[in-house]
Chain A
Amino acid sequence: QQPVQSPQAVILREGEDAVINCSSSKALYSVHWYRQKHGEAPVFLMILLKGGEQKGHDKISASFNEKKQQSSLYLTASQLSYSGTYFCGASESAGNMLTFGGGTRLMVKP
């Protein structure tokens, strides 16, 4: 079953923060985050594995709460380049394929 992402869309001004959530009805082993610009391929951002870890680089970070079966992506002090559609992908075990959420469209305005 497909993970549920929220919100479906968000509009920000440069410098504002945003949180994108990814929830599953099943226990998860790993969560991936990808960003896709219009007309381009999705690009990998980060993987979080079972264990409740938090990761980040630059001003984009993520957390994974396996008890809540949820991951959140945090975008801090957003830049115009952050605009795009963000997808989470979830797998239930080490050998399972990824199932992607429906995506969250993020638009950052000057």
Chain B
Amino acid sequence: DAGITQSPRHKVTETGTPVTLRCHQTENHRYMYWYRQDPGHGLRLIHYSYGVKDTDKGEVSDGYSVSRSKTEDFLLTLESATSSQTSVYFCAINPSGRTGELFFGEGSRLTVL
């Protein structure tokens, strides 16, 4: 058990509303990641963080922002949700360094109507 919890696990929202997904870890690991998963695309990196207030963009960061004010929490925000952001979002941690194995949370399924 890597000690990762995501919330909410399921959310349905309307286009144009803001949405925040939370990833919480209990192990104080530096590296945390947000991925989205869509059929045929595998897992695509949205944003990642290597410490408190240290974040960077991934390959599909447009329309998303993140914050990490505490080691244990990594928040993903959709300022104004669009239907193209309907997806399953996974948070991951990397206990052993930047290219070590990833441990994923259980996922948050977001539907934007």
Residues of B contacting A101 in the complex (Cβ-Cβ under 8 angstroms):
42
Q: How far is the CB of B107 from chain A (nearest CB, A)?
A: 6
Residues of A contacting B106 in the complex (Cβ-Cβ under 8 angstroms):
40-41
Please state if A97 and B101 are interface contacts (CB–CB under 8 Å): no
Contact status of A42 and B43, CB under 8 A, knowing A32-B102, A96-B99, A97-B48: yes
B residues adjacent to A (C-beta < 8 A): 33, 35, 40-45, 48, 58-59, 90, 98-107
Interface of A, helix, strand, loop or mixed by DSSP: loop
Please state if B40 and A44 are interface contacts (CB–CB under 8 Å): no
Residues of B contacting A43 in the complex (Cβ-Cβ under 8 angstroms):
104
Please state if A91 and B42 are interface contacts (CB–CB under 8 Å): no
Instruction: State A74–B43 Cα separation when bound (angstroms).
Output: 22
Residues of B contacting A98 in the complex (Cβ-Cβ under 8 angstroms):
45, 99, 102
Please state if B104 and A41 are interface contacts (CB–CB under 8 Å): yes
Contact status of A32 and B42, CB under 8 A, knowing A41-B106, A42-B90: no
A64 contacts B by Cβ under 8 Å: no
Residue of B nearest to A2 (CB): B42
Interface string of A20-39 (1 = CB under 8 A from B): 00000000011010100000
Pick from A44, A91, A102, A103: contact of B103, CB under 8 Å? A44
Residues of A contacting B58 in the complex (Cβ-Cβ under 8 angstroms):
97
Please state if B43 and A44 are interface contacts (CB–CB under 8 Å): no
Q: How far is the CB of A94 from chain B (nearest CB, A)?
A: 6
Residues of B contacting A99 in the complex (Cβ-Cβ under 8 angstroms):
45, 59
Instruction: State A42–B59 Cα separation when bound (angstroms).
Output: 19
Q: Give 15 pairs: A residue, B residue, CB < 8 Å, sorted on A.
A: A2-B42, A29-B99, A32-B102, A41-B106, A41-B107, A42-B90, A47-B100, A94-B98, A95-B99, A97-B33, A97-B58, A98-B45, A98-B102, A100-B44, A102-B41
